[in-house]
Amino acid sequence: MPTRRTLLISGASTIITALLSPRAMAAQRRLKPLKPGSRIRAVNPGTWMDPDTDLQALRERCDQQQWHLEIPAAVTRQWRYFSGTDQERVEDLRSAWNDPTVDAVLTLGGGWGAARVLEAGFRFPRHPKWSLGFSDTSSLLLAQWAAGLLGAIHGSSGGTEAQWQRTVDLLCGRPVAPLLGEPRRRGIARGPLVVTNLTVATHLIGTPWLPSLKGAILVLEDVGEAPYRVDRMLTQWRSAGLLQQLAGVACGRFSWAEDDILPGDFTMDEILEERLGDLGIPLVLNLPLGHGRPNQALPLGAQAQLDGKHGLLSLMA
């Protein structure tokens, strides 16, 4: 978590060039909003799901939008603690991404396994496609943006109707409301969004699948990690030089067991502010996203503005 720092630094210019290349920009412009008749393929690149999981509510939500949702039997397959072998899960993703009739890829499940799919050889084709997920799926969302492809949405197909409607609006190319958090450091930042689970992204440091953070607005969330473990991960990011070229940084929900904190320890907000507050950029905490509810959706790579004075994160037209 070789020489990972050297690999990251040497690869940064290549990644930035790829993101700004005419080919990548043209591919981004070809991403079309979902509409009635659009096809969505469900995949499960992580931990196995109970075959009796009730997905009727998701089917009904897609039916209301007149989207055709395909849920292959493979999503409830099991191999050890995964939803199939690494190669089976690679083939599931390849099938979804290479099918020109599939307009969006929706991740079910979670747990652990998506990064193993990347390590096992899955690569994104040179055309954009909508994808939706969070938590363990963050590795795929980050890799999609690192490949220069828009369409990755950090969010969930569950939650309240209002939360789902925001996701629908993003998939349909409609504007969404700003997200309100707690201001910690003033200033205005503008740049592309990079939204991720902190633990998942930390384990991508030194790989080709962590996108460039130069000029980006980084949004982090996590669950089940005590403040000292979050401290350890953010110290790794600082030591690797990953935070110094950000335009702004914000945090969603960080939840953990209360007995992980002893008297005199840093609270979660305190350690987030201590590790992120001296970067000289806007800082906002407690945006309404991450594990738990609400988990408001945000699109990776979209241009956004972070207002550190008022605690607002807005997507720019």
End-to-end CA distance of the chain: 36
User: Which residue in the list 83, 131, 157, 221 is annotated as catalytic?
Assistant: 221
User: Do you find a cis peptide bond into 100, omega within 30 degrees of 0?
Assistant: no
Residue 186 CB coordination number (10 Å)? 11
110/108 Cα distance (integer angstroms): 7
Q: By 3-state DSSP, what share of the chain in percent is helix, strand and coil, each rounded to 5?
A: 35, 20, 45
291 catalytic residue (yes or no)? yes
Is 131 annotated in the active site?
Answer: no
DSSP characters for 170-222? HHTT---PPEE-EEEE--EEEEEEEEEEHHHHHTTTTSTTSPP-TT-EEEEEE
Other Cβ atoms closer than 10 A to 261: 15
Please confirm, yes or no, whether 95 is among the known catalytic residues: no
CB neighbourhood size of 52 (10 A) = 6
Can you tell me the distance from the alpha carbon of 282 to that of 88, in angstroms, rounded to the nearest whole number? 43
> Catalytic: which of 135, 139, 157, 212?
135
- Could you give the 3-state DSSP secondary structure of residue 13? helix
* Sheet architecture: strand order including 39-43: 68-70, 39-43, 104-107, 130-133, 152-154, 298-299
> Which residue from 209, 194, 146 is spatially nearest to 304, judged by alpha carbons?
194
As a whole number of angstroms, the distance between CA 155 and CA 152 comes to: 9
Contact criterion met (CB below 8 Å) for 247 and 215: yes
Phi, psi at residue 99, to the nearest 5°?
-85, 110
Please list the active-site residues: 135, 221, 291
